[in-house]
C-alpha cells in the first residue's frame, strides 16, 4: 500500500514526467505510482501531488524535505506533507493515454470543423468528473489544458456513420477562456 505526498515550492508548474524523474532520482526508479496533479493554486509557487508505491519512499522524500539542507528542485526548496486519507489520489482519477485532441466547432449534427489537432495527448478526468486535464506536447513544449465542469455546456459520445472510431465531443460555453499552462 502506497502513500500520497504533496510537494510544494516549485518556481513554476512542472510536467508530471519531470516531477516523476526528479522524485525517483531521490527515492529510486519505480517508487512513484503516479503524479496525480500539478498546478499553481497556492500563491506564486506550484505544487505536485505524488502517489508513491511504498510508504518508505514517501517517508524518504518527506525526510529529505525536512532535513537542514532541504530538498532542492533547481533553485527552489520544496516542502512535503502527507495528503489526507480521503484526498484525491490516482485511484480516484481516470486517465487515458494516446488520445487525439481536436479543437474546432460543430457546424451541424454530422459536420465538425477541425481548427487544430494534436495526437499523443493524455487525459485525466478529475475527481467526480468535475475537471478534464489534457497533457500535450507542442513544438517540444509540454502544456496542460484544463477544462472545468462549470465551463462545459454539453458532452456527447459521437460515432460517425460507417466509422468504428468514437469521439467524445465536449462543447464549452461560448466566450470561454480555456486555461492552458505551459509546463517546464
Judged against a pLDDT cut of 90, whether residue 59 lies above it is answered with: yes
3-state secondary structure of 99: strand
Judged against a pLDDT cut of 50, whether residue 68 lies above it is answered with: yes
112 or 28, greater pLDDT: 28
- The domain total for the chain is 2
Residues 160 and 99 in one domain: yes
Residues 155 and 118 in one domain: yes
CATH, residue 84: 3.30.70.330
Among 38, 73, 72, 33, which residue's Cα sits nearest to residue 53? Answer: 33
Distance CA 134, CA 183 (A): 12
Residues 85 and 162 in one domain: no
- Residues 78-100, mean pLDDT to the nearest whole number: 69
How many other C-beta atoms lie within 10 A of the C-beta of residue 169? 13
Among 87, 69, 90, 91, which residue's Cα sits nearest to residue 78? Answer: 69
Judged against a pLDDT cut of 70, whether residue 175 lies above it is answered with: no
Residues 68 and 102 in one domain: no
Residues 98 and 72 in one domain: no
Domain boundary among 41, 57, 90: 90
- Residues 109-122, mean pLDDT to the nearest whole number: 85
How confident is the model at residue 89, as a pLDDT? 45
Judged against a pLDDT cut of 60, whether residue 85 lies above it is answered with: no
Distance CA 82, CA 91 (A): 16
Domain boundary among 45, 75, 90: 90
Residues 25 and 74 in one domain: yes
Domain boundary among 68, 90, 112: 90
Residues 35 and 116 in one domain: no
Residues 65 and 97 in one domain: no
The answer to whether 42 touches 23, Cβ cutoff 8 Å, is no
15, three cell numbers:
510536467
Residues 29 and 82 in one domain: yes
Mean pLDDT for the chain overall = 80
Residues 119 and 85 in one domain: no
Segment among 42-51, 54-63, 86-95 with least mean pLDDT: 86-95
91, three cell numbers:
485511484
Q: Name the pTM for this structure.
A: 0.49
Q: Which domain holds residue 64?
A: 3-90
- Residues 41-70, mean pLDDT to the nearest whole number: 86
Residues 97 and 86 in one domain: no
- Residues 125-132, mean pLDDT to the nearest whole number: 67
Amino acid at each position: 500500500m502506497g502513500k500520497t505526498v504533496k510537494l510544494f515550492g516549485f518556481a513554476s508548474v512542472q510536467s508530471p514526467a519531470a516531477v516523476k524523474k526528479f522524485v525517483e532520482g531521490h527515492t529510486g526508479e519505480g517508487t512513484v505510482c503516479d503524479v496525480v496533479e500539478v498546478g499553481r493554486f497556492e500563491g506564486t509557487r506550484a505544487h505536485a501531488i505524488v502517489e508513491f508505491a511504498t510508504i518508505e519512499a514517501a517517508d524518504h522524500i518527506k525526510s529529505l524535505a525536512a532535513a537542514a539542507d532541504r530538498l532542492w528542485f533547481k533553485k527552489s526548496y520544496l516542502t512535503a506533507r502527507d495528503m489526507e486519507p480521503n484526498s484525491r489520489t490516482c485511484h480516484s482519477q481516470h486517465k487515458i493515454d494516446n488520445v487525439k485532441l481536436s479543437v474546432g466547432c460543430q457546424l451541424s449534427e454530422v459536420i465538425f470543423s477541425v481548427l487544430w489537432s494534436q495526437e499523443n495527448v493524455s487525459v485525466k478526468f478529475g475527481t467526480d468528473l468535475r475537471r478534464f486535464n489534457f497533457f500535450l506536447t507542442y513544438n517540444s513544449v509540454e502544456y496542460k489544458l484544463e477544462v472545468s465542469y462549470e465551463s462545459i455546456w454539453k458532452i456527447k459520445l459521437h460515432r460517425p456513420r460507417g466509422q468504428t472510431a468514437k469521439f467524445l465531443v465536449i462543447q464549452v460555453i461560448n466566450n470561454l477562456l480555456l486555461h492552458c499552462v505551459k509546463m517546464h
